[in-house]
Amino acid sequence: MTYNTFAHKICRGGGLPLTCPTCRKSETRVVDSRDDETVVRRRRECLDPRCKHRFTTYERMEVPRLFVVKKDGRREQYSRDKILTGLRKACEKRPISEGQMESVAADLERELFARGESEVPAATVGERLMEALRKLDPVAYIRFASVYRSFRDIESFREELAQL
């Protein structure tokens, strides 16, 4: 899960600060750490030399939620699959590999989550994808742009074409 590489939150049982269950001091060190998909299990040791109590914590990764806000104000949960569906449609029969599309989607996602906001305008998502496609393939770019930014008139469409 790529989400976890940035902006994840760690929950410690009930949101209490991490303290030694025996002496209640908060200085501990990690002696062992094990990850699975969503939970990190850590063996910790209290740093108080008189205590040195060892205990285990389970820290849960929380995937941040992101909503895409459409022009009419509707919010939709961000979905990488939807982004990829749009890209595949634009790149149909073009010399762009699935891997390239996935990396476009992954770059976008990293950028969106790095903003640290819970909402992003759909127009921003569209613009970012257009920028990425423009570098990859002019035909895919035009296809995508014509869907996402319905060209106001034939003239602005020509201007876009001329810039390629």
- Could you list the residues that contact Zn ion (CB under 5 A)? 20, 22-23, 46, 48, 51, 53
Q: Is the Cβ of residue 25 or residue 82 nearer to Zn ion in the bound state?
A: 25
What minimum distance in Å lies between the beta carbon of 10 and Zn ion?
21
Tell me how far, at minimum, the Cβ of 46 lies from Zn ion, in Å.
Answer: 3
CA distances from 17 to 11, 12, 20, 26, 111 (A): 10, 7, 10, 8, 30
Nearer Cβ to Zn ion (22/118): 22
CB 28 within 8 A of CB 45: yes
In the complex, least distance from residue 49 CB atom to Zn ion, rounded to whole angstroms: 10
Separation between Cα atoms, residue 30 and residue 10, nearest integer Å: 15
Residue whose tokens read 């950028």: 111
Dist. CA 50–CA 57, nearest whole Å: 21
Residue number, 23 or 123, with CB nearest to Zn ion: 23
Minimum CB distance to Zn ion smaller for 47 or for 114: 47
The least distance separating Zn ion from the CB of residue 22, rounded to whole angstroms, comes to 5
Whether the CB-CB separation of 119 and 75 falls below 8 Å is answered with yes
